[in-house]
Amino acid sequence: MTDQISEGYVILMTGLLIVFSALVTLMLFFKYGLPLMLYTYKIITKGKEKKISEIKVVADRDFTGEMSAAIGAAVHMYLREQHDHESAILTIKQVKKPYSPWSSKIYGTQNRL
Amino acid sequence: MKKVIVIFCVLSLLIFIRPALGLGTNTNSNNINSSKTTEQVDTIEESNSYSGAFEGLQQFYNYTGFANVTSGHAIMILIGIIFIFLGIKYDYEPLLLIPIGTGVILGNIPFVAGNQTGIYETGSVLNYLYFGVVKGIYPPLIFLGIGAMTDFSSLIANPKLMLLGAAAQIGVFATFLGALYLGFSLPEAGAIGIIGGADGPTAIFLSSKLANGINILADGTTVKNLIGPIAIAAYSYMALVPVIQPPLMRLLISKKDRKIKMKPPRAVTQKEKMIFPIVALILTLFISPSALPLLGMLFFGNLLKESGRTERLADTARTKLIDIVTILLGVTVGASTQADIFITKDSMLIFGLGAISFIIATCGGLMFAKLMNLFLKGDNKINPLIGAAGVSAVPDSARVVHHEGLKSDPSNYLLMHAMAPNVSGVIGSAIAAGIILSFLG
């Protein structure tokens, strides 16, 4: 009996210690580890973006603002004038109505079933 | 129309007459038989057939519940009805109390043993369903659903609140010790202690592993089957959280402290939410591998929810799956309270210990929150009331904290803050269960 209880105390102490340590590690991770991870991830991904942005745009000196305005206007007009192509085929669909007795005369008051 | 009625009447008459005709033929054959046997004494014939019928009736009566009912059955059926009543009338966890209450009635219908009826008879239908409880299958499935429901963002935003979930586990270990002092063996005490974790599935899981009536102790005796009492105690105290916790909160936390307003939690990115289940899964299970079925499923369910790609699976886990398992779990746990096994001195002790463990767990959370406040400064201070949410009982205890906060300051909304210790309480009690299991399993 006393042996059991002393073992119980051991379990009590170690158990509480482990529960606390588990949640403390979780806490520490999410307090310090996770922001660090996200920060490094950000740096890594930013590095990649830099590589892409390193491609140099060679300026064309002959390309003036007037030209780009003209191109822009042309594209705008083209898009505005554009019609969507509609099918020119006309068909008359036969409409089949299912039988509906809503106004049927056979259900009138004069006719008995 | 008249014709139809007439035909119906004739048919029903025929149906009613047929057994009468059948009875007639039976009596005829009886007469033939008896005439063969009773050629010598005519007078015995009648009394024989009467006594036969009487014996049949008596045998039938012996099989009915009326003949086998004991006061234990009657008490348990009454308890079942009270559970159902509480669930319907006062809305105390009706999703649990109504299945359990019905189960209690089912399990305590008196019957003659040997017909594969009772939950403890191998081969009976209830016994097969109970298998999921005995082998600890249902609790991890419920945890899967809970994981798919839970939003850990408040915990991620304020990780220090995790400690409150750990502090409330003091209740588990204190009860464990109390049970040892009352003379329970180590595994039984471990299973009883987990009631303080205020987590039904965890309690069932641990008791099915430790106090299942199958394991053999070091001194050669078998452990007692305590799954029923422990589960009922855990669930009924969970339902009673709104009754148990507020007085303790008012007792331990001063009025000034109750009014502390916490700063709103920061927004948590989706990336953090996705990382949380994976990291928490690995970290917690490396520390306490025995909690694998519970925590594994919990974080798996959460990953399904947060990954953003498996919404279908998460949806099933948090609706249909958890509903199915809750039905089966509730009914079978209820039915496992068969009077001859349930009404014992041990059950009464377990109920007492359960109440104490709940109180200790709540106090542990509250006191630890006060302790944390000593080290926190300015608007980082936490409202000590949320410590009470460290006992899991998701989300009831968080709701109770919220209401209690509103009572002292109608503009103080604590629900989001209280959810953090609440969910960490789930993790904490599962870890505690894992530790106890690894020590005693």
Q: What is the pLDDT of residues B181-213, one digit of tens each?
A: 998 988 999 999 999 888 889 999 999 999 888
Please name the amino acid found at residue B149: M
A8 touches chain B (CB under 8 A): yes
Backbone phi, then psi, for B216, in 5-degree steps?
-110, 130
Calpha distance B408→B387 (Å, rounded): 16
Residue in B163, B173, B276 nearest the CB of A24: B163
Please name the amino acid found at residue B336: S
Backbone phi, then psi, for B212, in 5-degree steps?
-105, 5
Mean of the per-residue pLDDT values of chain B: 86
Question: pLDDT value at position B427?
Answer: 92
Q: Higher pLDDT residue, B10 or B291?
A: B291
Backbone phi, then psi, for B367, in 5-degree steps?
-65, -40
A positions 20-59 inside 8 Å of B (CB): 20-31, 33-34, 37-38, 41
Render A28-62 in DSSP notation, one character per residue.
HIIIIIHHHHHHHHHHHHHHHHHHHHTSPPPP-TT
Question: pLDDT value at position B343?
Answer: 86
pLDDT tens, position by position, B151-163: 999 889 989 999 9
pLDDT confidence bin for A56, thresholds 50/70/90: low
Is residue A78 over pLDDT 50?
A: yes
Calpha distance B132→B441 (Å, rounded): 19
> What's chain A's length in residues?
113
| Residue B416 CB neighbours (<10 A) | 18
How far does B266 lie from chain A, in Å, by closest CA? 13
Question: pLDDT value at position B28?
Answer: 44
Question: pLDDT value at position B241?
Answer: 87
pLDDT tens, position by position, B328-355: 999 999 998 888 888 888 999 999 998 9
Question: pLDDT value at position B218?
Answer: 75
Question: pLDDT value at position B43?
Answer: 52
Backbone phi, then psi, for B222, in 5-degree steps?
-85, 150
Calpha distance A91→B62 (Å, rounded): 81
Please name the amino acid found at residue B27: T
Q: Which of B73-82, B89-98, B389-398 has the highest mean pLDDT?
A: B73-82
pLDDT confidence bin for B111, thresholds 50/70/90: confident
Burial of A88 from C-beta contacts in 10 A (0-12 / 13-18 / 19+)? exposed
CB–CB of A34 and B424 under 8 A? no
Contacts of B400 (CB under 8 A, 6+ apart): B241, B242, B245, B246, B388, B389
Output the CA–CA distances (angstroms, integers) from residue B190 to A7, A13, B136, B171, in the order listed: 12, 14, 16, 12
Boundaries of every domain in chain B: 130-440
Instruction: Tell me which residue of B384, B381, B386 sits closest to B399, measured CA to CA.
Output: B386
pLDDT confidence bin for B1, thresholds 50/70/90: low
Is residue B14 over pLDDT 70?
A: no
CB–CB of A12 and B176 under 8 A? yes
Is residue B23 over pLDDT 90?
A: no
Using DSSP's 3-state secondary structure scheme, residue B225 falls into strand
pLDDT confidence bin for A86, thresholds 50/70/90: confident
Mean pLDDT for the stretch of residues B71-81: 92
Q: Higher pLDDT residue, B269 or A108?
A: B269
Calpha distance B315→B301 (Å, rounded): 10
Q: Are B226 and B155 in contact (CB under 8 A)?
A: no
Q: Which tokens is B34 given?
A: 């008896």
Render B319-379 in DSSP notation, one character per residue.
IIIHHHHHHHHHHHHHHT--HHHHSSHHHHHHHHHHHHHHHHHHHHHHHHHHHHHHH--GG
Mean pLDDT for the stretch of residues B94-108: 91
CB–CB of B156 and A34 under 8 A? yes
Mean pLDDT for the stretch of residues A83-90: 75
Mean pLDDT for the stretch of residues B301-312: 93
Cβ-based contacts of B176 with chain A (< 8 Å): 8, 11-12, 15
Helix B292-306 vs helix B270-287: angle between axes, to the nearest 10 degrees? Answer: 170
Is residue B80 over pLDDT 80?
A: yes
Mean pLDDT for the stretch of residues A59-74: 84
Contacts of B145 (CB under 8 A, 6+ apart): B301, B317, B318, B321, B322, B325
pLDDT confidence bin for B387, thresholds 50/70/90: very high
Calpha distance B349→B68 (Å, rounded): 28
pLDDT confidence bin for B224, thresholds 50/70/90: confident
Question: pLDDT value at position B15?
Answer: 61
Question: pLDDT value at position B29?
Answer: 43
Percentage of chain B surpassing pLDDT 70?
A: 90
* DSSP code of residue B318: I
Cβ-based contacts of B269 with chain A (< 8 Å): 38
What does pTM read for this prediction? 0.76
* DSSP code of residue B344: S
Question: pLDDT value at position B39?
Answer: 47
Segment B111-118 long-range contacts (CB within 8 Å, at least 24 positions apart): B111/B63, B111/B65, B111/B68, B112/B62, B112/B63, B112/B68, B118/B338
When scoring B287, B422, B429 by the number of chain A Cβ atoms within 10 A, the one with the most, hence best to mutate, is: B287
Question: pLDDT value at position B118?
Answer: 84
Q: Are B159 and A34 in contact (CB under 8 A)?
A: no
Percentage of chain A surpassing pLDDT 90?
A: 11
Q: Could you tell me what percentage of chain A is helix, strand and coil, using 3-state DSSP and rounding each to the nearest 5?
A: 65, 0, 35
Is residue B428 over pLDDT 60?
A: yes
pLDDT confidence bin for B31, thresholds 50/70/90: very low
**Which chain B residue lies closest to A7 (C-alpha atoms)?**
B186
Percentage of chain B surpassing pLDDT 90?
A: 45
pLDDT confidence bin for B263, thresholds 50/70/90: confident
Question: pLDDT value at position B45?
Answer: 55
| Residue B151 CB neighbours (<10 A) | 15
Instruction: Tell me which residue of B409, B438, B397, B356 sits closest to B170, measured CA to CA.
Output: B356
Burial of B395 from C-beta contacts in 10 A (0-12 / 13-18 / 19+)? middle
Structure-token match 């005995």, residue found: B134
